[in-house]
Structure 1
Amino acid sequence: MASDSTRPVTGYPAPNPNGFNHQPPPTATAFPYAAPPPQNYPYYTNNNHQYPSSTYYNPQRATFLRRFFAIIIATVIITGTIIFIIWLVLRPKLPQFRVESFSVTAPFNLTSNRLTTSWDVALTVRNPNGKITLYYDDVQAAVFYRGHSLADTYLAPFVQGKKSESALKASFAAASTFVDGRDVDGMNEERGKGGGSVGFNVRIIADVRFKAGIWRARRRLLKVYCGNLVVSVVGNGSRSNGLSGGPRQCSVGM
Structure 2
Amino acid sequence: MASTTETNQPRSSDQPATQSSEAHQPRAPIDPYPPPAGGTYPPSNMSYAHPQGYPTVAPPYHGYHPSAYNPYYGDPYYTTTSYNQADEAASSCFRCFCIIMFLLVIFTLLASIVMFVVVRPETPAFKVESFSVSNFNLVPGSKVLSGKWEASIYVDNPSYRMKLEIDRWETSLYHKDNYLAMGSVMHSMNLESRSKGTMHMKMETYNTTASSAVEDMEKEQKEGGNVSFNLRLTLSYDMKASGFLYNHYSNYRSGTLRVKCSDLKVPLPAGSNTGSMPSGSSKACDISDGF
TM-score category of the 2 structures, normalised to the smaller one: 0.5 to 0.7
> Partners in 2 of 1:236 and 1:77 — Cα distance?
70
Aligned to 2:270, which of 228, 235, 240? Answer: 235
Percent of paired sites with the same residue: 26
SS of equivalent residue, structure 2 residue 118: helix
Matches within 5 A, 1:1-254: 83-111=112-140, 112-153=142-183, 154-179=185-210, 181-194=211-224, 196-213=225-242, 214-236=249-271, 238-243=273-278, 246-254=281-289
> Deviation per CA, 1:184-234, whole angstroms, max 9, x where unpaired?
22112211211x211000111101111012541242111111100000112
Give the superposed CA RMSD. Answer: 2.5
Kindly tell me: are residues 77 and 192 of structure 1, through their superposed partners in 2, closer, same or farther at Cα, counting changes over 3 Å? farther
Shift of 1:239: 1.1
> Partners in 2 of 1:244 and 1:115 — Cα distance?
26
> Partners in 2 of 1:76 and 1:190 — Cα distance?
63
> Partners in 1 of 2:217 and 2:198 — Cα distance?
30
Structure possessing the higher relative contact order (Cα contacts under 8 Å, 6 or more residues apart): 1
Is the Cα–Cα contact under 8 Å of residues 97 and 124 in structure 1 kept in the other structure?
A: yes
SS of equivalent residue, structure 1 residue 157: strand
SS of equivalent residue, structure 2 residue 131: strand
- Specify the alignment match of 2:99 in structure 1: none
> Whose Rg is larger?
2
Shift of 1:156: 2.5
Shift of 1:89: 2.1
Kindly tell me: are residues 167 and 245 of structure 1, through their superposed partners in 2, closer, same or farther at Cα, counting changes over 3 Å? closer
> Deviation per CA, 1:151-197, whole angstroms, max 9, x where unpaired?
11212321111111111111110111221x33222112211211x21
Q: Which has the higher helix share?
A: 2
Equivalent pairs, count: 178
